[in-house]
Amino acid sequence: MVDVLVAGAGPAGWSVAAACAREGLHTALVDPAPSRPWTATYALWRDELPSLPDSAIAAAPATTVAFGRTRHVLDREYLVLDNTGLRHWVTDERVELRQGKLDSTVHGGHGSTAVLADGSRVAAAIVVDARGSRRRAGARTEQTAYGVTLSTAEAAAVTGGATALFMDWRNSPTFLYSVPLGHDRVLVEETSLARKPGLPLGVLADRLRARLARAGVTEPRRRERVRIALDTPPSLRGSTLGFGAAGGFVHPATGYSVATSLALAPAVAAALADGLPAGPSRALRAARHAVWPASALAVHQLRRKGLHAVRSMPDDALPAFFDLFFALPTELHRAYTSGRTDISGTASAMAHLFRTAPWRLRTRLAL
């Protein structure tokens, strides 16, 4: 019997598995391909994870800009992660790797038994599900994106020369996102912020191809397809601990979750280590409290209101709304996007947006 079995070998799974191993817990990680490379593009704000080493950073743009209708320079350092360096940072050799797919979990008074797709079983005091949110076609509010990797010169022709383009709404109802990846590579992505069901990737691909054609750029082979469920609820019940996107960590209004997973992994591991001597149930409650204190649940509800407001806006109102959002004082921008337990900061950011919005937008924000 292992102390902790983590299902899912992405950044969330590896970060919590490694943190548990560092706490001295016998930890196993199960995944159909536990050593597979991470191919998605991950990014975060430096102030969300000050301990991030340089080896885990692929690019740190000198300037990050955003457009509603006008240009805004964001006064926070935005980092694009190096997946190889990130994986090395979060990996711990004491984690026992098992190849397989988690099929079901049987829970008992003294722990759980994970049943894998091949019929094999793994006994564990605690099972952590870090496999990402489960897709249900049409049932979730989704952020979707279609991107390509270009050379720096090609990307400049498409974006107008921006080093890092956080959002460009000037061709709404979808926005352009562009970040350097290092080594003369730039990700350029057409993104739909929030729709239910998510905007089909084929529509986004066509819009991006039109942008590329206007800039005289041929679509390359290297492509990235993104689907993120924005309304996954917090994992508060059951005998399995949800972590990462599977635990409801995705920011309902932005789609970000990696920084949260990396930051919370040590606290979850410490809670499990402290609680397990008193039994799996006690450890599970302690870990859930570490992840979802009352302040985090309150902020999550406020963010869901923000998601609802954005999703209900007509397409032609989005550029004006994001002009207001990017004009927020930096501390309020940080509170809303990154202050996971900051109730007053999140509420202040939302109140500031409401006060400064024209009446047409206020009616949407008040819904």
User: Mean pLDDT for each 10-residue chunk of the chain (367 residues)?
Assistant: 97 98 98 94 97 97 96 97 97 96 90 93 96 72 96 95 92 94 96 94 97 94 93 91 96 96 98 97 96 98 93 90 96 97 97 90 78
Distances (CA, A) of 112 to 132, 235, 281, 285: 20, 17, 11, 15
Q: Which of 213, 211, 80, 196 is nearest to 146 (CA)?
A: 211
CA atoms lying within 13 Å on the CB side of residue 209 = 10
pLDDT score at 361: 85
- Could you tell me the pTM of the whole model? 0.94
Alpha helices in 292-339 (DSSP H): 294-312, 318-326, 330-338
347: enclosing H helix or E strand: helix 343-356
pLDDT score at 360: 81
Cβ atoms 124, 111 nearer than 8 A: yes
Q: In the numeric block, which tokens belong to residue 298?
A: 């309150």
pLDDT score at 296: 98
Cβ atoms 187, 163 nearer than 8 A: no
pLDDT score at 145: 98
CB atoms inside a 10 Å sphere around CB 139: 12
pLDDT score at 134: 74
Give residue 303's Cα distance to chain centre. Answer: 14
